[in-house]
Amino acid sequence: MRTAVALGLVLFAQAMLALSLVSAQQLLVPRNMPFGVVGPPSPVVAAVASRTGLALTAYPDTSAVTGAAEQGELYGAYVSGGSSDTLIVVPAKSFFGQTEVEPAFLAAAHDLGRPVTVQTIAPLAATDPVGAVTSLLLLPLLIGGYLAAVLVYKAAHGTAAAPWRAVILAGYALVGAVLTDLIAGLGIGAYSSSHFWPLLPCFWLVTSAVALAAAALQAMVGRMGTLLVAVLFIVIGGPPAGGLGTYLLPVYWRNIGVLLPPQSAVTLINHVLYFGGSDISTPLVVLFLYAFAGTAVIAWYGRIRPARAAAREAHGAVAPAAAPPDRRRGLIPILVALGVCAVMQCLFATTYMSASHAPKATDLPFGTVGTSPVLAAAEQAISLKVTPYPDEAAAKTAMDQARIFGALVSTGTSNTLIVVPSMSDLAPLDLAVKFEAAAKATGQTLTVQQYAPTPLAPKDPFGLVQGLMLVPLLIGGYMSSTLLMAATGRAAGRWRAAQLAGFALVSGLIIDVIVCYWLQGFPSGKFWITWPICALIVAVVAFVAAILQKLLGPVGTLVTVVVIVLFGNPSSGGASGVPYLPAFWRDIGPWLPPRNGYLLLHRTIYFDGHGTGQALTTLLVYLGVAAAVLIVLDLRRPEAAVPVDATEAASMAVPIGATP
């Protein structure tokens, strides 16, 4: 019975995480996006607004609308009147928003015969070309604050550190903020060193708000408070954080996010990083309220209520005085817990940021038909691994088989750039920009054409869904093994492999149903082939976690998180593709389950299984070897009891890897 309850809890957590992540981020399009207009009514604005979710606000002149954009109030603006119009874009508000708005306005202006120039305000830094740094900064801050509260609570046995818990957590938040700032800024260079001091108090506030609020809920409802915080701040609060643009989210998710710390944290960091700290009063108020409310609750349960109880006892019978606690002995496990938390926060700040903050193609597989000076000029700006093909049909066959990300077809008088949107969310735009610039520099004409063997699902126009659904599959794998260990009191058992395999089948089916049929994240014709792939990914991670837990006990869960989530997930390549990873992450990815799982999912759904042989073989080897090792360990290694609380195990496993 306890086993069924434990696995049921994992299934529920997986379903919630898949539903939240995919529904919030699968369809990033403008929704009531703040957009400024200046001048008389423009048919260009009317044409775009009729099919794009813009919330138009009129400004008296160019200076006023420019000032609003510089303060981060607008995602863009259109200035009409005179002999030409001006389109103002604000990449720092949302890279994805710019890619939606700018082409729409340029196309409408071209169709209506209106000359238009593009003016950029708050451009993204070279170290943050797609605006990913804000979201990547949120990850260690959110996880660090949560883990600090959980680990201090565990180390203090729920009560020992209560009087000083707020001070301890606020102190750790400062240490975690400094470490994150040093790693992301000065170490990795994701933002300039001039932002070190302005961002430091922001990081401190974000981590403090999460840690203090989590500790307050723990004080009120005990261990269940940690699960409640994981659900509120990470499973529900993380997806609508809006790192890619708050007004690209579904309206209901945006409204939910306003009430929780992650969205306020993203807005605060983004506006300090790119808008000089303007328009941050609302996120500051939200985060300070969480921090102050958490401190007040901790003070009530840790000092005020015990003091009142002691005063009441003083008026009654005098009880024998208890020996004062040894504070130094109680402090040691707390310091150890915070040390573990600091290491995890540093790893989250290092791995995800170094892998994803500045995607740049290296040896991007590319085809060519014929010869053109455009290709040589483009190669000066983007690293390509070029393969010649005899004709366009041969090049498209290579695209069908997921061997190239695009091709240039030249006939001598014209050039056609063919891009494959289902291969990568970034490569089509990257190739188009570089080749259009190359064509202009060489005086050639260029036409850009999209080609996809299986078109992207309408509700997944950027091909993000497979990367999003991979996260709950990975988490479900090690979480199932962890909660089985907690439920049975042992790291393994005679039927553990069978239990995990059965769970994987059910888990894969649930994720498949949610993403395919409920959220329509990929074509329904791929439902049945996707189910066993999802089950395989879950089973591989679960078996690996079970072995590590068998050998190391509860520490095995932590090791699994490090290997699978902190190194495996960043090296998967995700929606952008493996060529956009730095060398270290490209090299380690083939040896770890996440990349192989992602490629197997992605290429099965959109490329009819082409190019999946290595990924499938790797996962099957993992599964077979892990199952054999697990069986041998169960038969030959004596099994000792492992005292792990189920709620504690779930709270430690749920949030890890839930990318905001």
Contact between residue 209 and residue 294 where contact means Cβ atoms under 8 Å apart: yes
**Contacts with 283 (C-beta within 8 Å, 6 or more apart), sequence order:** 263, 264, 265, 267, 268, 271
Q: State the chain's maximal CA–CA distance in angstroms.
A: 102
Confidence of residue 131 (pLDDT cuts 50, 70, 90): very high
Report the alpha-carbon distance of residue 515 to residue 73 in Å, rounded: 34
- For residues 347-354, average pLDDT: 95
- For residues 633-637, average pLDDT: 69
Contact between residue 435 and residue 381 where contact means Cβ atoms under 8 Å apart: no
Q: What is the pLDDT of residues 192-237, one digit of tens each?
A: 999 999 999 999 999 999 999 999 998 888 777 777 888 888 888 8
| Distance (Å) of CA 80 to CA 58, 83, 84 | 12, 9, 7
Angle between helices 496-512 and 465-488 (to 10 degrees): 150
- 658 has a pLDDT exceeding 60: no
- 468 has a pLDDT exceeding 90: yes
- Nearest CA-CA partner of 22 in 521, 461, 421: 521
- Nearest CA-CA partner of 209 in 278, 293, 279: 293
Contact between residue 582 and residue 355 where contact means Cβ atoms under 8 Å apart: yes
- For residues 582-611, average pLDDT: 96
pLDDT computed for residue 646 by the predictor:
46
Report the alpha-carbon distance of residue 174 to residue 435 in Å, rounded: 46
| Distance (Å) of CA 61 to CA 77, 551, 625 | 11, 69, 68
pLDDT computed for residue 232 by the predictor:
85
Contact between residue 577 and residue 424 where contact means Cβ atoms under 8 Å apart: yes
Contact between residue 14 and residue 235 where contact means Cβ atoms under 8 Å apart: no
Q: Are strands 406-410 and 415-419 parallel, antiparallel or unpaired?
A: antiparallel
- For residues 290-307, average pLDDT: 84
Strand partners, 77: 36, 88
- For residues 558-563, average pLDDT: 91
**Half-sphere exposure (Cβ direction) of 360: Cα atoms closer than 13 Å:** 12
| Distance (Å) of CA 477 to CA 294, 569, 622 | 33, 13, 13
Q: Which residue has the higher pLDDT, 517 or 154?
A: 517
Strand partners, 59: 38
Q: Which residues of 32-67 are buried (b: 16+ CB within 10 A; e: fewer)?
A: ebbbbbbbeebebbebbbeebebeeeebeebeebbe
Q: Which residue has the higher pLDDT, 658 or 557?
A: 557
Contact between residue 1 and residue 228 where contact means Cβ atoms under 8 Å apart: no
Report the alpha-carbon distance of residue 514 to residue 508 in Å, rounded: 10
Q: Which pair of structure tokens corresponds to residue 27?
A: 């369809």
Mean pLDDT across the chain, nearest whole number?
A: 89
Q: What is the pLDDT of residues 417-434, one digit of tens each?
A: 999 999 999 999 999 999
Contact between residue 349 and residue 186 where contact means Cβ atoms under 8 Å apart: no
- 639 has a pLDDT exceeding 70: no
Strand partners, 367: 387, 407
Return the percentage of the chain with pLDDT > 90, whole number. Answer: 74
| Distance (Å) of CA 385 to CA 361, 367, 407 | 10, 8, 11
Q: Which residue has the higher pLDDT, 137 or 496?
A: 137
- 657 has a pLDDT exceeding 50: no
Q: Which pair of structure tokens corresponds to residue 323?
A: 């020996």
364: left (phi over 0), alpha (psi -120 to 50) or beta: beta
pLDDT computed for residue 630 by the predictor:
85
What's the gap between Cα 423 and its chain centre?
19
The CA R_g of the chain, rounded to the nearest whole Å, is 27
Rounded to the nearest 10°, the torsion over CA 409, 410, 414, 416 is: 10
Q: Cα angle at 39 between 36 and 44, to 5 degrees?
A: 70
- 187 has a pLDDT exceeding 80: yes
pLDDT computed for residue 419 by the predictor:
97
Contact between residue 330 and residue 160 where contact means Cβ atoms under 8 Å apart: yes
Q: What is the pLDDT of residues 386-399, one digit of tens each?
A: 999 999 999 999 99
Q: What is the pLDDT of residues 319-333, one digit of tens each?
A: 454 455 555 556 788
Confidence of residue 637 (pLDDT cuts 50, 70, 90): low
- 414 has a pLDDT exceeding 70: yes
| Distance (Å) of CA 116 to CA 94, 100, 106, 112, 321 | 21, 17, 7, 11, 82
- 317 has a pLDDT exceeding 60: no
Q: Which residue has the higher pLDDT, 153 or 129?
A: 129
Q: What is the pLDDT of residues 24-55, one digit of tens each?
A: 999 999 999 999 999 999 999 999 998 889 99
pLDDT computed for residue 154 by the predictor:
82
Contact between residue 437 and residue 422 where contact means Cβ atoms under 8 Å apart: no
At 464, the amino acid letter reads: L
Q: What is the pLDDT of residues 80-109, one digit of tens each?
A: 988 889 999 999 999 999 999 999 999 999
Alpha helices in 60-195 (DSSP H): 62-70, 95-111, 133-155, 165-181
Q: What is the pLDDT of residues 264-274, one digit of tens each?
A: 999 999 999 99
- 70 has a pLDDT exceeding 70: yes
Is 321 strand, coil or helix?
Answer: coil
- For residues 622-635, average pLDDT: 86
- Strand order through the sheet with 415-419: 384-388, 364-369, 406-410, 415-419, 446-450
Return the percentage of the chain with pLDDT > 70, whole number. Answer: 91
